[in-house]
Amino acid sequence: MTDLKPGSVVFENVRKDFGTFTAIPDLSITIEPGTLVTLLGPSGCGKTTTLRMLAGLEHPTSGRILIGGRDVTMVPAHERDVSMVFQSYALFPHMNALQNVAYGLESSGLNKREAKERAEEGLTQVGLTGMG
């Protein structure tokens, strides 16, 4: 996996069509590092499609997506340092919160100790210190 440096996320004139339906007509936005952004809108307005394109689960019909200055428009999802958390939780009920967070890290090849440390750091970042 390529190590992406922290940096801005840029959508340059991104368009996404599904057949004859245009889900995203023309999206241009720059999100600076450390910025919290919320996508808000009615069902069907393109929020999930935008996130899926950022994660590499969908490719734009046209335009470019850059992460940290690197054009990732056609880079496959497994080669991006991007994660998504879906609205309907897909937690493993037999695992505690820390184990659920560490699971993806272990699946990515980290050893259990490092995955646990990074999962604890992640929980701390979202204000859940000690809730693992």
Segments of the chain with pLDDT less than 70: 1-6, 86-90
Assessment of whether the complete model's pTM goes beyond 0.75:
no
Structural domains of the chain, with CATH: 9-73 (3.40.50.300), 91-132 (no CATH)
Residue 2 vs residues 13, 87, 124: alpha-carbon distances, Å? 25, 27, 25
Predicted pLDDT of residue 2: 47
At 4 the pLDDT is: 45
Backbone angles phi, psi at 119, to 5 degrees: -65, -40
* pLDDT the model gives residue 25: 95
Do 17 and 83 touch, CB atoms closer than 8 A? no
